[in-house]
Structure 1
Amino acid sequence: MSTLEIHQIPVLHDNYLYLFKDPQSGNVGIVDPAVAEPVLEKLDELGWTLTHIINTHHHMDHTGANLELKEKTGCTIVGAEIDAARIPGIDIRVKDGDIYEFGAQKAHVFEVPGHTSGHIAYWFEESDALFCGDTLFALGCGRLFEGTPAQMWHSIGKFRNLPDQTKVYCAHEYTESNARFAVTVDPKNAALLSRFDEILEKRKHLIPTVPSTLGEEKATNPFMRADDPGLQAALGLSGADPVAVFAETRARKDSF
């Protein structure tokens, strides 16, 4: 099977949108369109016609262009059944465990509450692509605006079960800030220290650090490693419940 052709579109201060096409059907989707103009410009540049909007959650920097793009292209809007009332223009409602068929491509749908109560993610297995919105970032995770540490740890656990080669198409370029925090709570992690240097070099030249891979995140992202003895020891929480370790890590990041 052919895989998705994916284009990253930077918008606003630090958002990333993802425009993608299924070569077999010609379907074209945009993930979490904050604003319309850059999407329309990229579509024109590529000669593509938008058929779908794929939303991960309701925040305006993820749904702000839903209605304008739908009006201009007639596209179909896909979002969480559990949060349908907050997804502008929603047409197709998906839930945890669904397989959403995007042309010839199939996306596994995960409900991943924590950042928001109705957050979802889409894993296109054949394309090794995870569109995770604001649940997981490169070396970070989303703030807990509507969920609990237990919910977010459980949500991130769903990603830990996916293959290491999966690319993490998160929605923001927060990596440098996340890295500066990560080394304060996991200072003896050699893989993290090496990655930190690489990130600083990339950002010095304004090179995107996204997507990363789940393998990188499992090895270096403190929010994916709350059950790791090394991280627990560094936090003074050896043997603690991973939820408590996650909560402490998140609290420290919130005040970093």
Structure 2
Amino acid sequence: MTAEQSDSPVAAFWRFETDDERRIVRDVLYRRFPRLTSLLADCFATVSTYDIARPGYLDGDNDVIAEILVLLADVNGNLDRVSVGRMREILGEGMARSLGRLPEPHAVQEAARLVRAESATIDWEALAWTATDFDGGTRPEDLRPLSPPFWALLNTTEQHAAFNAVVNRAFPRTTAILLECLEKADPLDIVYPDQTPEYPDVVREALVLISDVYADLSRVTPERLENVLYEALARCFGEPPEEHRVPHAVNLITEHVALRSSD
């Protein structure tokens, strides 16, 4: 965990300061993954022995769901790509991060069983594309990026402002380092002087792809970081980067992290 986050071993990835931030980010996540959100909500409603609502705040299950969705960012909510053991880990981690305490093992076990049972009849691969247009429809094959973007429905100024407020407050250094190094390495050769930054979307995708380590770059190996950048670029631009430029970005990021660690 980074100093940008809480010292608690189960701090939340999503830490909202206002109800508007929570509402907007949730809305984007839930519209992006409607079937998965519904499945998780039904499962948690059934596991009634585990109180996931905080005192004075009866909507705690939704915060748990938001944590779980980001922990599934690497598979874009495709539960067919998540093993039974990994599903238990993700559910337990999501509960713990949201509630600030470790969940009861039997509750995690039961939630995982319900999720696995209810997901067995769903074609998750097809659903990965269902929310990538404004109307919630699917894109034709020839218009799809190489991978579906996690933040496919982050479209309005209000949504961008809410998301940026949350992640910039929680991960200011990581966000700044990723953006600076991507702009400098320019993997797609699209950066020109006096233009607005070209890679904020890639940074957003990268942040959720390393959400399992709280977007702490010091906990990401160069090999994994390179894979994360390739995936984030594929999701956002739908075309491969120039071969030497992603390793260059990784080297720049690694140097930044090393310098900050020695401060």
Q: Give the shorter-chain TM-score range.
A: 0.3 to 0.5
TM-score (norm 1): 0.33
Kindly indicate which of the two structures has a greater share of residues assigned to strand.
1
Q: Which has the higher contact order (CA 8 A, sep 6+)?
A: 2
Kindly indicate which of the two structures has a greater share of residues assigned to helix.
2
TM-score (norm 2): 0.32
